[in-house]
Structure 1
C-alpha cells in the first residue's frame, strides 16, 4: 500500500502557486565562498502539487555500483533536460520566478529539473556535492523545492571540520545553494527510523551542472 502524505495544516489544496521571493528570502553565509538562501513555504498548495507529481511523473529506479557490488539507489528519480516539457505548469512558473530573482547574480538561467521521490524514511541521498560538469570548477546555484513530508537536509564542509547544518524542509519550502557550495560543501538527506511519509524534491540547475 502506498504511504499517505500527512498534509500541512497551513497548506491549501485549492490554490497551487507561488508566494513572493524578494525580501522574504533569508541568506545564510557559509565558509569558503558558499551560501544558502531559505524561503519557507514558497509554494502554495504544495501538498496538492505533491500528489499531482506523484501521479504523473514517470518515476524510475536506478542501480549503482558501490564497494564492488551493484545496489539500488534508495529513491525514485526523473530528470527533465532543457528541451523537455516539465510535468506540471507550476514548475515552469517556479523556474521563471527563480530566473527572475537569481538571473543577474547567477548570470544565466536555470535549465534542467531533476526530481526525486523519497518514499519513506529508508530512502535517502548520501553526502555529496553536485560536482558533475562545470560546477566542479565554477561557482553555480542549485535551487530545491521540497514537497510532501518534511525531511532533514544536512550540510557540512567538504573535507571535514566546522559545524554540520541541519535544515528541515517540506510542504513547499525553497533552499538555494550558491557560490562555491557544490565544491566546498556537501549535503545529504539521511535515512531516519522515525515514521515519515513521502517527499518529493525538485532541483533546478543551470546547463552542464549535475
Structure 2
C-alpha cells in the first residue's frame, strides 16, 4: 500500500506526544449542538500516521445504495470496547478524552473506528452517527486526524444555518457533542485538488455508530 505523505512542520517529530485538553475551543452550533476543536493536539502525528497506515488491518467494504452495490470510498477498521487499540498513543488519547469529557458525557469513550482516506477520491457522504443511541440521545464523537489535512464539513439537518468547515490533519482534534449527531450532519467531500492521505480515528461511547 502506498503511504507516501508529505509531512507538516508540526507532525514531523520522531516522537509522539499528546498535549493538555484545557485549550480546546468550543463553538455552539445551535439546537443543542456544539464542537470542540484543538489543532495539533498530537505532536509527531505523521509518525503515528505511518504506523497506522502500515500496521492496521484495513479492509474495503461494499454497501447497498438504492438499486446497486457500490464500493465504500475509503478503507476501514473498527476496534470494539474489548479490543486492544492498534497503537499505545491511541490508548492514551482515549484515556485523556475520558478524563476531560467523562463528567460531561456521563460515560467513557469505548470504541474506535478508523478511516483511511487514500487521496482526494476517498470521502464520506453527509451523515450523522445515528446508528444506535445517537439517533435519540445527546452524545459525543471525538475525532483525531493524522496525515494530510482534509476538509470536514458540518451543516444543520433542518432549518437555517450555513455550512461550517474545518481543515483537519496532522494531529488535530475535533469533538462533536450535544445533539450534534441528531441535528447536524458532517461529511468529508471528494476533492480534485492534490491531497495526501489522511487517517481519522473516531472515539465513541458504547452503542453509538
Give the aligned partner of residue 59 of structure 1.
Answer: 58
How many angstroms apart in 2 are the aligned matches of 1:171 and 1:102?
Answer: 22
Residue 27 of structure 1, CA deviation: 0.1
How many angstroms apart in 2 are the aligned matches of 1:161 and 1:147?
Answer: 32
Matches within 5 A, 1:189-204: 189-204=188-203
Give the aligned partner of residue 6 of structure 2.
Answer: 6
How many angstroms apart in 2 are the aligned matches of 1:63 and 1:171?
Answer: 29
Give the aligned partner of residue 124 of structure 2.
Answer: 125
Residue 15 of structure 1, CA deviation: 1.6
How many angstroms apart in 1 are the aligned matches of 2:136 and 2:152?
Answer: 24
Matches within 5 A, 1:1-210: 2=2, 4-22=4-22, 24-159=23-158, 161-210=160-209
How many angstroms apart in 1 are the aligned matches of 2:158 and 2:28?
Answer: 18
Residue 10 of structure 1, CA deviation: 2.1
Structure 1 unaligned spans of 5+: none
Helix, strand or coil: the match of 1:52? helix
Q: How big is each residue's C-alpha offset from its partner over 1:60-88, in whole Å with a ceiling of 9 and x where there is no partner?
A: 00000112100000000000000000000
Residue 183 of structure 1, CA deviation: 0.1
TM-score by length of 1: 0.97
Q: How big is each residue's C-alpha offset from its partner over 1:10-63, in whole Å with a ceiling of 9 and x where there is no partner?
A: 2233221201111x1000001100000000000111000000000110000000
Helix, strand or coil: the match of 1:175? strand
* Superposed CA RMSD: 1.0
Helix, strand or coil: the match of 2:187? strand
Q: How big is each residue's C-alpha offset from its partner over 1:142-167, in whole Å with a ceiling of 9 and x where there is no partner?
A: 00001000000000001353110000
Number of corresponding residues: 209
